[in-house]
């Protein structure tokens, strides 16, 4: 039966939910507080990376975070705040940094990321979209023996999960990327990974949805939510009141603020990251993560993107120049001939990853509200998991058996 659906948030999760809900025959409206052309879903590294099966909350990460707290150039920065939500999140994150959490997360993360990658391909074929989608794999480039050993250990886990991965010597790395001057001890290559140019997919998807009757309300912020008998009766912005049969909360890092109005406590923090783009041709043809520096390098459509850092410091898009310099310096350290210019660095942009304490997204209905589906908290993997999350959202709303076991993503799970 066709339903009226309101989606809060038009990032990758909101747009993919709109796509699959429209395909199921529902009438869909997407409401976004922004102009829908910036933020995490536009500035990310574009990886479709089933290789990233280890959740952020893993043994040793909290310790590293504490050590890095005093280093403004570090890839992970957690800014201490006397905010009860932040303190609860930190506590839950710390307790999730365990072998048990990693083991629980691996299959759940891999399955939804693999499905996401395959659905990008299906969407491209079905809708004749033109966005870049290449499966050239992902290189984890290491400069130290210690890092290489660590990456090989992770690769062993991925191999056991059936993912195609192999170790690469520095000589083979040079053969694979002959036009770049890479300084490395070696690398690990994940052949299962693909890459895209995010803003091109976002633009194509918006155009497609609009031309198929999906309504977009841009620059409207959902401020209030009215509830009756554990059901949302309406949502309001400064200009309008909206009613619908079902609602989808896909507001990324802001989702926590809205869920509070519903009495749902989502533990979620914004993890800011940055990107620098360059239109110069550096001869980089295979996406890479500079493992020690945690900088992602992606050859996109017409430019190369350098992205990185995870700054847990509240909701803001402020550009921290020290971190931009850290990305540029790391790049130069690995690719000796690449010196990013002042102009390229001045063009840097930021985006907020919605980070859960255990590295698993929130997808599903909370028991507090029967006509709301939550779809957020994808952290570093939201681009990879966009289409699969959208499909699952549509299946939940339509009462169809979900494509995957969604129990690990339950929004009411305890930490
Ligand atoms: C530097 C960087 C690199 C990354 N690289 C990768 C990668 O290579 N691969 C990968 O898989 N992932 C990557 N990610 C993660 C990925 O980009 C995010 O997980 C994903 O974009 C989150 O999408 P979203 O739709 O949940 O949130 P968003 O894109 O943030 O969208 C949420 C939307 O909700 C709107 N909104 C919020 N509150 C309201 C309200 N009250 N009313 C109306 N609208 C509202 C916002 O305006 C926003 O447009 C990266 C992220 C960053 C920052």
Per-residue pLDDT reduced to its tens digit, 241-260: 999 999 999 999 999 999 99
Nearest ligand 1 atom to the CA of 378 is: 19
Predicted local confidence at residue 80, as pLDDT:
85
Question: What is the CATH number for 339?
Answer: 3.50.50.60
Q: What is the mean pLDDT of residues 312-321?
A: 94
Q: Indicate if the pLDDT at residue 182 is higher than 90.
A: yes
Query: Residue 170: what are its φ and ψ, rounded to 5°?
Result: -65, -30
Q: Indicate if the pLDDT at residue 89 is higher than 80.
A: yes
Query: Would you place residue 57 in the very low, low, confident or very high pLDDT band (cuts 50, 70, 90)?
Result: confident
Would you say residue 176 lies in a domain? Answer: yes
Residue 38 in 3-state DSSP? coil
Compute CA distances 413 → 205, 279, 357, whole Å: 32, 44, 11
Decide: 194 and 48 in contact? Cβ < 8 Å: yes
Predicted local confidence at residue 62, as pLDDT:
81
More confident residue, 233 or 63: 233
Q: What is the mean pLDDT of residues 175-179?
A: 97
Using most ligand atoms within 8 A of CB, pick from 133, 220, 375, 382 the residue to mutate for ligand 1.
382
For the CA atoms of the chain, what is the radius of gyration?
Answer: 21
What is the number of structural domains in the chain?
1
Decide: 315 and 254 in contact? Cβ < 8 Å: yes
Residue 311 in 3-state DSSP? strand
Q: What is the mean pLDDT of residues 85-91?
A: 93
pTM exceeding 0.85: yes
More confident residue, 79 or 7: 7
Task: Specify the residue with its C-alpha closest to ligand 1, atom 52.
Answer: 44
Cα of 250 vs centre of ligand 1, distance in Å, is 9
Q: What is the mean pLDDT of residues 259-288?
A: 96
Would you say residue 383 lies in a domain? Answer: yes
Predicted local confidence at residue 72, as pLDDT:
73
Would you say residue 291 lies in a domain? Answer: yes
Q: What is the mean pLDDT of residues 366-370?
A: 92
Would you say residue 415 lies in a domain? Answer: no
Q: Indicate if the pLDDT at residue 393 is higher than 90.
A: yes
Decide: 273 and 308 in contact? Cβ < 8 Å: yes
| Start-to-end Cα distance in the chain | 36
Taking the C-alpha atoms of residue 225 and residue 235, their distance in angstroms, rounded to an integer, is 4
Cα of 185 vs centre of ligand 1, distance in Å, is 34
Would you say residue 174 lies in a domain? Answer: yes
Residue 402 in 3-state DSSP? coil
Cα of 290 vs centre of ligand 1, distance in Å, is 23
Quick one: what percent of the chain has pLDDT higher than 90?
Answer: 89
Nearest-10 Cα torsion for 259, 260, 265, 269: 80
Nearest ligand 1 atom to the CA of 383 is: 11
Would you say residue 414 lies in a domain? Answer: no
Mean pLDDT of the residues in the chain: 95
Would you say residue 55 lies in a domain? Answer: yes
For residue 372, give the DSSP letter.
E
Task: Specify the residue with its C-alpha closest to ligand 1, atom 25.
Answer: 11
Among positive and negative, which fits the CA dihedral 177, 182, 183, 188? negative
Would you say residue 15 lies in a domain? Answer: yes
Full residue range of the structural domain in which residue 403 is found: 4-409
Predicted local confidence at residue 73, as pLDDT:
80
Predicted local confidence at residue 67, as pLDDT:
77
């Amino acid at each position: 039966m066709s339903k009226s659906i309101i989606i809060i948030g038009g990032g990758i999760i909101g747009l993919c939910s709109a796509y699959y809900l429209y395909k199921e025959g529902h009438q869909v409206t997407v409401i976004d507080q922004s102009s829908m052309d910036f933020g995490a879903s536009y500035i990310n590294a574009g990886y479709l990376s089933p290789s990233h099966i280890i959740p952020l909350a893993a043994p040793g990460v909290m310790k590293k975070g504490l050590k890095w707290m005093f280093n403004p150039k570090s890839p992970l920065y957690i800014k201490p705040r006397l905010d009860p939500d932040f303190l609860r999140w930190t506590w839950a994150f710390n307790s999730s940094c365990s072998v048990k959490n990693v083991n629980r997360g691996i299959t759940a993360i891999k399955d939804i990321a693999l499905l996401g990658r395959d659905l990008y391909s299906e969407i491209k074929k079905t809708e004749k979209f033109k966005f870049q989608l290449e499966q050239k794999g992902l290189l984890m480039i290491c400069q130290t023996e210690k890092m290489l050993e660590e990456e090989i250990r992770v690769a062993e886990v991925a191999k056991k999960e059936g993912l195609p991965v192999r170790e690469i010597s520095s000589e083979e790395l040079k053969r694979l990327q002959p036009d770049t001057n890479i300084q490395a001890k070696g690398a690990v290559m994940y052949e299962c990974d693909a890459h895209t140019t995010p803003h091109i997919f976002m633009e194509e998807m918006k155009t497609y949805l609009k031309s198929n009757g999906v309504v977009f309300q841009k620059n409207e912020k959902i401020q209030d939510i009215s509830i009756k008998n554990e059901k949302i009766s309406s949502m309001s912005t400064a200009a309008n009141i909206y009613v619908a049969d079902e609602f989808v909360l896909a507001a990324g890092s802001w989702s926590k603020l809205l869920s509070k109005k519903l009495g749902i406590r989502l533990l979620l923090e914004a993890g800011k990251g940055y990107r620098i783009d360059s239109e110069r041709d550096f001869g980089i043809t295979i996406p890479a993560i500079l493992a020690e520096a945690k900088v992602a390098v992606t050859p996109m459509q017409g430019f190369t993107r350098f992205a990185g850092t995870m700054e847990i410091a509240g909701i803001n898009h402020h550009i921290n120049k020290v971190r931009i310099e850290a990305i540029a310096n790391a790049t130069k350290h690995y690719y000796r001939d690449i010196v990013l210019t002042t102009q390229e660095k001045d063009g840097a942009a930021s985006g907020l990853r919605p980070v859960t304490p255990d590295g698993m997204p929130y997808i599903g209905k909370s028991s507090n509200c029967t006509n709301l589906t939550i779809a957020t908290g994808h952290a570093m993997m939201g681009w990879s998991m966009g289409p699969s999350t959208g499909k699952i959202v549509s299946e939940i709303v339509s009462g169809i058996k979900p494509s995957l076991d969604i129990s690990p993503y339950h929004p009411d799970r305890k930490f």
